[in-house]
Amino acid sequence: MPTWPWAGWPPNSSANASASTRTPCACSRACRCAAASRTAYRSTPTIYRFYEIVQVYGSTLKVLVHEEFGDGIMSGINFKVTFDKLEDPEGGHRAVITLDGKYLPTRPY
- The one-letter amino acid code at 75 reads S
pLDDT at position 44 is 86
CA distance 76 to 99: 10
Extents of the domains making up the chain = 1-49
pLDDT at position 19 is 46
pLDDT, tens only, 11-23: 544 444 444 444 4
Query: What are the catalytic residues?
Result: 49, 52, 75
CA distance 63 to 75: 16
For 92, phi then psi, to 5°, come to: 85, -155
- Eight-state DSSP code of residue 36: H
Cis ω for the linkage preceding 10 (within 30 of 0): yes
- Eight-state DSSP code of residue 22: P
pLDDT, tens only, 17-68: 444 444 455 555 555 555 555 666 567 888 889 989 999 999 999 999 999 9
